[in-house]
């Protein structure tokens, strides 16, 4: 399912080796974009790149030196950047305010929050040098937890809430400085991705876990990574020029329904 809507565009996808990132890399390639898959998972990233014709670059999103190297690579290889999908993120280890330790807090913040900030910052710098003038689309992966916190994952909830407001600040700056760069956040509900395996002990049967998580949605199922990829593709395309600073839920009506009877 494609119509070449990203033809001629260059995209970077963080956390692009699996889950939502991998589905988006496939969709972007089908839509004609050149894609750089940026991830710490080198084996998965290289395989996906080989399968799709994308390019893999190893990236720890919390490391500014690695961001600088990645942007230098993109500029040298493609000469432009049109789409930045800041998708990399981790869970917070199931730690509440009572059990949170500083090492976990700092790690989750570095990846989920600082990593997105660095991605926006470096993307804007390169998009500003695009042939034909400054332009681009930045999409940041937040969560339904940007609106409603998880009692047993304070770090994840906090950082995803921060991504929501960070996105609006970036969009406001880009508009005021007439950059022609848009920045939006997406807010997935429960999606069928490998991240859930991180939340349970090794060897645990994931099937019942996924069933319980799917039941959180009024739709009675988890979303598919390909469904999120379709939304990201639209926001990345020239079909969404007036969508800027927005928060877009993709959650099967999870946040629309009151939990009471």
Residue extents of the structural domains in the chain: 10-193+223-253
Alpha helices, DSSP H only, in the chain? 19-30, 42-52, 64-78, 102-109, 115-127, 154-176, 206-214, 225-236
| C-alpha radius of gyration, the chain, whole number | 18
Span 95-127, pLDDT tens digits: 999 999 999 999 999 999 999 999 999 999 999
The Cα 29–Cα 136 span in angstroms is 17
The Cα 180–Cα 14 span in angstroms is 22
The Cα 164–Cα 147 span in angstroms is 9
Catalytic residue (one of 156, 159, 170, 187): 156
Tokens 């972007």 sit on residue: 28
Collapse the DSSP code of 259 into the 3-class scheme (helix H, G, I; strand E, B; otherwise coil) and give the result: coil
Name the pLDDT band for 215 (thresholds 50, 70, 90): confident
Collapse the DSSP code of 27 into the 3-class scheme (helix H, G, I; strand E, B; otherwise coil) and give the result: helix
The Cα 207–Cα 163 span in angstroms is 30
Span 41-74, pLDDT tens digits: 999 999 999 999 999 999 999 999 999 999 999 9
Helices and strands of the chain, counted as H and E runs: 8, 7
φ, ψ (nearest 5 deg) of residue 12: -115, 130
Name the pLDDT band for 142 (thresholds 50, 70, 90): very high
Which residues does 205 contact at the CB level (< 8 Å), separation at least 6?
A: none
The Cα 113–Cα 139 span in angstroms is 14
What is the reported pLDDT for 21?
98
Q: Determine whether 156 is an active site residue.
A: yes
Global pTM exceeds 0.85: yes
Fold designation for 10-193+223-253: Rossmann fold (3.40.50)
The Cα 158–Cα 113 span in angstroms is 9
Helix axes 225-236, 19-30, angle to 10 degrees: 50
Mean pLDDT over 152-176 rounds to 98
């Amino acid at each position: 399912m494609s119509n070449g809507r990203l033809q001629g565009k260059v995209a970077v996808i963080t956390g692009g080796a699996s889950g939502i990132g991998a589905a988006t890399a496939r969709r972007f390639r089908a839509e004609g974009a050149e894609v750089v898959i940026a991830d710490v998972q080198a084996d998965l990233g290289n395989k996906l790149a080989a399968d799709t014709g994308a390019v893999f670059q190893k990236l720890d999103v919390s490391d500014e030196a690695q961001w600088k190297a990645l942007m230098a690579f993109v500029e040298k290889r493609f000469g432009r950047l049109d789409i930045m999908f800041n998708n990399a993120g981790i869970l917070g280890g199931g730690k509440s305010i009572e059990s949170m330790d500083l090492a976990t807090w700092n790690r989750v913040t570095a990846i989920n929050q600082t990593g997105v900030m660095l991605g926006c910052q470096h993307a804007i710098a390169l998009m500003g040098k695009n042939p034909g003038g400054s332009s681009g689309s930045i999409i940041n992966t937040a969560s339904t937890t940007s609106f409603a916190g998880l009692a047993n994952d304070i770090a994840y909830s906090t950082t995803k809430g921060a991504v929501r407001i960070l996105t609006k600040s970036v969009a406001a700056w880009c508009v005021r400085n007439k950059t022609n760069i848009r920045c939006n956040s997406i807010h997935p509900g429960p999606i069928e991705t490998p991240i859930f395996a991180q939340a349970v002990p090794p060897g645990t049967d994931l099937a019942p876990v996924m069933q319980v998580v799917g039941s959180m949605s009024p739709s009675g199922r988890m979303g598919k990574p390909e469904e999120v990829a379709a939304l990201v593709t639209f926001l990345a395309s020239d079909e969404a020029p007036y969508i800027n600073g927005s928060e877009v839920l993709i959650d099967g009506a999870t946040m629309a329904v009151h939990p009471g009877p």
